[in-house]
Structure formats: C-alpha cells, structure tokens
C-alpha cells in the first residue's frame, strides 16, 4: 500500500515537473510553427489634394488677375496614403484573411511575409463591412506559403490562454499572450458580431491578425481595442472564428455575403413586458412589427409574439435573433417557436435573402372619425382620436392608426415608462384600437386579471411595446 502511495506521489511530482518545464519553455515551439502563416498587410491609396494656398479675395479685386497670371490654374496634387495591418493564410491556394477596415479604399494591397524577404501583391476577393472581414488572394506559385487551421470559438472559455500575432505599429511578427477575458461581448459593432475579449496586448496594426489557442488554431480575428490613450490597456476584441469562418467561406465562393432575412422589427423583453405577456422570465425577442410580404408575415408571425427559439437555437436575448437569422441558409425552412396568448406556438418559416434595400412598406389604413377625447384614468393618460385635421396638424402619416396621447399624469407609471404627448397608442393588450371606448373597454377587462397592460406605441415612426402598470 505504501509502495503504491509512493509511486502515486512520484507520478504527481513528475507531472508537475513536466508542466513546469513546459511553462518555462514558453510558447516558442508553437510560435515557430505559426509565424510563417501570419503576414503583414501594406496598402496604398492615391488621393488628390489642392495645392494652391492663396487668400480668398472679393470678386473683381485687381489682385485676382495678378494671382491668376502668376500662378496659373494649378492642378490638384496627387498624394499617396499608406496603411498597415495584419492577416493570416488559411489555404494552400493563397487565400488570406484580414479586416475590411485594413484594406478599405486601397488601390494596391501587398502581403509581406515574416521572413522579411517575400512581398507579393494581393487581389481583393471580397469584403463584408458588416462583420469587418475581408479575403485576399495571392499567387501561391510565387512564394512558399504555410496555412493555419480554424478552431472552434464556441469551445473557448473565459480564462483560456491565447496568443495574438500581428504587425502592431509596423513591427511585423510581434507575438503577445493573454487570456480570454470575456465571450459574447457586445461592443456596438452591429447585430451580427459578439466579440471575444482578450487581455493579450494588441495595438494599431494588429487588426486582421489571428488570435490563436494553444492548439495553434485560429479562434478569432483581432479587430478592435478599447483605449483612452490609443495604446493597449489590455482590452482587445476579436471576431469569433465560427462567425469569421462562415463569412470567409461565402466570400471565397460568391465574392459577397449572403444573409438570411426574416422581416421583423424586434425589441428586448423587459420584466414588465414579460409579466404582461404571461412569460415566467424576461427572455426572447419581442416582435414589434412585421414587414409586409416578408417571410415572417407569410409564416404567420405577429406583432406581440416573442421569439423563443429559432431553428433549434434558444433566443436567450433579443440580439441573438439577428445573428441566428443572418447565419441561416436562404430558402431553407426553419422552425420558429413563439410565445403567443401565454402558450408556445411553432411556425415554419422559409428564410429569404437579405437585400440591402429592404424597406418596410406599411399597408395604408385611413380612418376618419370625430375628434373625441377621453381620460384613461387607470393609466393616467389622456387620448384623442386621430382626425384628418389632427393628421395634417401633427404630420401623422395616413397609414398610422390608433389614439393620440394628449396628456400624461405626473408620477404615473405611464410617465415613468416614457409615455408622452404626441405618442400614438396603436394596440392595447395586443388588440388594435381606433376609438376611445375600445381602449376603455379593454383596460377594464385587463385590470380584472393583471396589474398592468401591454401597449404598442408609435413614436414618430418608431414602433415599441411597453408595459404600463395601473394606478392604485
């Protein structure tokens, strides 16, 4: 027994010693393998600038003729602007990944290898500004190339060690290390990207370079830093590989990105909204409106539905839905689970291709009625019917229906929730309203069952749901 224990302790000691030795060696062997695959990106762009720096004189001033005779009609001066960034090779065919902002507007793009010798011109294959991804192509016959493999960013965890390699401040082949500080980080970069946050030091010029795990796989594309000073403060952001890989594949195949389109306007589900809709917790994406003719409308998705699941992926929060939809294949039927009338409903939606010019075209609904006013005392608001005269005076489009808010009681929940004069209440408890008696009747029914009511509000064209509690 003692012998077994001694042997076990010896094994543990050996493992610790081996790990310690590995730590002392650092990442040199791994970096040696990766460096040939990471490149610097140099760009140049020709711009025109006016060179004549002369005082502006009134028309007819005698000096104008003298200046024209002496200087003549000077032509704009051409200047060459240069830029630097990073990239990495992903295939033996010579495809290179970088950021869109690294090569945007460039007339010439050059890929520079870390051996300090090889420089080759690059052709732009395609870009996706929405995710800041670009794909370049170099001729593999002109230089020896070595590619890297994509890793699965979805397997990454906070605390994982990562390496960043790139060309910060023109210092090509720079390697830094750190950990993953956060995942699924929203930094206001649009609806399609949740970033990996890392404390591996990156600076200007690192953009487009790879973020590696310790298996030597690319799990992110370094894209941005947070820095009050302009230098690294240990807060960097990378596009996850699972997103980048999909975008890169599309750019290679089609030269552009093809995104799925559902055709809904959505908002977050607040605790008040969840309670008003009978949901046990605030999650999902609340549909404020659907676009006429869209896949959502054709499938029967309605305003007031909460999207809980899209194509077997749980919509834990509103910003998840645009990403899920965008990643969907066009013309593919998917199951969408929505919460409606306090139960789950599964709808089948055929996803369409997102067009750049998708614009909502609302069906025109014109309603003529007497300008009656009413006091909805249970909510602390006053409303008025919308007449032609009010439409003209308030500049309300013909297609907009509902009741115009003309007053809000101080310290009421309606005031706290931001309801204000000029708002148009279009629905009450998921039911359209055009007359004050309809509004009052619905409020009376809802008050018997709940502490508040769900309102659909049109505020200068912005459609939002809000839950307002009844006055005591």
Q: What is the pLDDT of residues 172-211, one digit of tens each?
A: 889 999 999 999 887 766 678 889 999 999 888 899 999 9
380 or 306: which leads in pLDDT: 306
One domain, residues 294 and 231: no
229 or 254: which leads in pLDDT: 254
pLDDT at 165: 95
- Extended beta strands in 170-284, E state: 174-185, 195-198, 210-212, 217-225, 236-240, 260-261, 264-268
Share of the chain above pLDDT 90, in %: 43
Of 10-14, 277-281, 376-380, 399-403, minimum mean pLDDT range = 10-14
Q: Is residue 176 part of a domain?
A: yes
Residues 277, 431: Cα–Cα separation, whole Å: 13
Q: Is residue 171 part of a domain?
A: yes
Given a cut of 90, whether residue 17 has pLDDT beyond it is: no
Domain boundary among 216, 242, 268: 242
pLDDT confidence bin for 227, thresholds 50/70/90: low
One domain, residues 236 and 264: no
* 372-386 as b/e: b if 16+ CB within 10 A: eebebebbbbbbbbb
C-alpha angle 401-404-407 in degrees, rounded to nearest 5 = 165
One domain, residues 395 and 437: yes
User: In sequence order, what are the residues at sequence separation of 6 or more whose Cβ sits closer than 8 angstroms to the Cβ of residue 280?
Assistant: 274
pLDDT in tens, 50-73: 554 555 555 555 555 554 554 555
Average the pLDDT over 14-36 and give the result: 69
Residues 73, 65: Cα–Cα separation, whole Å: 12
3-state secondary structure of 133: strand
One domain, residues 169 and 217: yes
14 or 391: which leads in pLDDT: 391
Average the pLDDT over 18-22 and give the result: 46
pLDDT at 366: 30
Given a cut of 90, whether residue 137 has pLDDT beyond it is: yes
pLDDT at 362: 29
One domain, residues 210 and 271: no
* 210-231 as b/e: b if 16+ CB within 10 A: bbbbeebbbbbbbbbbeeeeee
pLDDT confidence bin for 20, thresholds 50/70/90: very low
Instruction: Return the residue matching tokens 């947070």.
Output: 226
Q: Annotated catalytic residue: which of 91, 101, 375, 388?
A: 101
One domain, residues 448 and 393: yes
Nearest to 113 by CA among 89, 149, 148: 89
384 flagged as catalytic = no
16 or 308: which leads in pLDDT: 308
Long-range contacts of 13-20 (CB under 8 A, 24+ apart): none
Q: Is residue 298 part of a domain?
A: yes
Average the pLDDT over 69-96 and give the result: 77
**What φ, ψ does residue 27 adopt, rounded to 5°?**
-115, 25
| CATH code: domain of residue 439 | 2.30.42.60
User: In sequence order, what are the residues at sequence separation of 6 or more whose Cβ sits closer than 8 angstroms to the Cβ of residue 298?
Assistant: 349, 350
Q: Is residue 49 part of a domain?
A: no
One domain, residues 201 and 278: no
One domain, residues 217 and 167: yes
One domain, residues 416 and 380: yes
pLDDT in tens, 280-338: 889 999 998 898 999 999 999 999 999 999 999 999 988 889 889 988 889 989 999 99
Q: Annotated catalytic residue: which of 153, 156, 207, 241?
A: 207
Q: Is residue 408 part of a domain?
A: yes
How many domains does the structure of the chain reveal?
Answer: 3
Average the pLDDT over 199-224 and give the result: 93
207 flagged as catalytic = yes
Domain boundary among 193, 210, 242: 242
Residues 100, 107: Cα–Cα separation, whole Å: 14
Domain boundary among 215, 242, 269: 242
pLDDT at 62: 53
Q: Is residue 231 part of a domain?
A: yes
One domain, residues 328 and 399: no
Share of the chain above pLDDT 70, in %: 80
101 flagged as catalytic = yes
Q: Annotated catalytic residue: which of 132, 194, 199, 272?
A: 132
Helix then strand then coil, in percent of the chain rounded to 5, is 25, 35, 40
Average the pLDDT over 347-376 and give the result: 60
Of 116-125, 270-279, 341-350, minimum mean pLDDT range = 270-279
Strand partners, 266: 287
| CATH code: domain of residue 205 | 2.40.10.10
One domain, residues 265 and 238: no
Residues 177, 198: Cα–Cα separation, whole Å: 9
Instruction: Please tell me the pTM assigned to this model.
Output: 0.64
pLDDT in tens, 395-425: 787 778 889 998 888 888 888 888 988 889 9
pLDDT at 12: 47
pLDDT at 61: 53
Pairing label, strands 149-150, 217-225: parallel
> Which residue range(s) make up the domain with 229?
153-242
pLDDT confidence bin for 74, thresholds 50/70/90: low
One domain, residues 293 and 346: yes
Q: Is the separation of the CB atoms in 192 and 135 below 8 Å?
A: no
Q: Is residue 52 part of a domain?
A: no
* 117-133 as b/e: b if 16+ CB within 10 A: eeebebeebbbbebbbb
């Amino acid at each position: 027994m003692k012998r077994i224990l001694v042997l076990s302790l010896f094994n543990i000691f050996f493992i610790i010693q081996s790990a310690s030795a590995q730590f002392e060696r650092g990442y040199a062997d791994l970096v040696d393998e990766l460096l040939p695959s990471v490149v610097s990106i140099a760009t140049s762009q020709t711009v025109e600038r006016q060179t004549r720096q002369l005082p502006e004189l009134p028309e007819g001033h005698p000096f104008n003729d003298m200046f024209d005779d002496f200087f003549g009609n000077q032509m704009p001066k051409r200047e060459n602007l240069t830029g630097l960034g990073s990239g990495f090779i992903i295939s033996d065919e010579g495809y290179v990944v970088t950021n869109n902002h690294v090569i945007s507007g460039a007339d010439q793009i050059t890929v520079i290898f870390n051996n300090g010798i090889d420089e080759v011109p690059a052709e732009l294959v395609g870009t996706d500004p929405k995710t800041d991804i670009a794909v370049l192509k170099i001729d593999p016959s002109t230089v020896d190339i070595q590619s890297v493999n994509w890793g699965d960013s979805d397997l990454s965890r906070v605390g994982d060690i990562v390496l960043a390699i790139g060309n910060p401040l023109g210092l090509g082949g720079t390697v830094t290390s750190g950990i993953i500080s956060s995942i699924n980080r929203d930094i206001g970069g649009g609806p399609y990207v949740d970033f990996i946050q890392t404390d591996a030091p990156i600076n200007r010029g690192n953009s487009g370079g790879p973020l590696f795990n310790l298996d030597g796989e690319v799990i992110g594309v370094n894209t941005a830093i947070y820095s009050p000073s302009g230098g690294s403060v240990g807060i960097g952001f990378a596009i996850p590989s699972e997103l980048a890989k999909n975008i890169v594949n599309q750019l290679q195949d089609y030269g552009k990105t093809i995104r799925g389109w559902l055709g809904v306007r959505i908002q977050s589900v607040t605790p008040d909204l969840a309670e008003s809709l009978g949901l046990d917790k605030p999650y999902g994406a609340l549909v404020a409106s659907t676009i006429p003719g869209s896949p959502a409308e054709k499938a029967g998705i309605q305003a007031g539905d909460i999207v809980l699941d899209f194509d077997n992926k749980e919509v834990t929060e509103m910003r998840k839905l645009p990403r899920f939809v965008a990643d969907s294949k066009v013309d593919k039927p998917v199951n969408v689970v929505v919460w409606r009338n306090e139960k789950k409903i599964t709808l089948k939606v055929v996803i369409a291709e997102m067009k750049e010019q998708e614009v909502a075209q609302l069906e025109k609904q014109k309603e003529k009625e007497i300008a009656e006013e009413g006091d909805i005392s249970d909510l602390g608001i006053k409303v008025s019917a919308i007449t032609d005269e009010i439409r003209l005076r308030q500049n309300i489009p013909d297609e907009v229906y509902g009741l115009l808010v003309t007053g809000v009681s101080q310290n009421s929940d309606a005031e706290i929730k931001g309801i204000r004069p000029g708002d148009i209440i279009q629905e009450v408890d998921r039911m359209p309203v055009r007359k004050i008696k309809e509004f009052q009747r619905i409020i009376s029914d809802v008050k018997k069952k709940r502490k508040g009511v769900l309102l659909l509000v049109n505020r200068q064209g912005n459609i939002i749901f809000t839950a307002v509690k009844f006055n005591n």
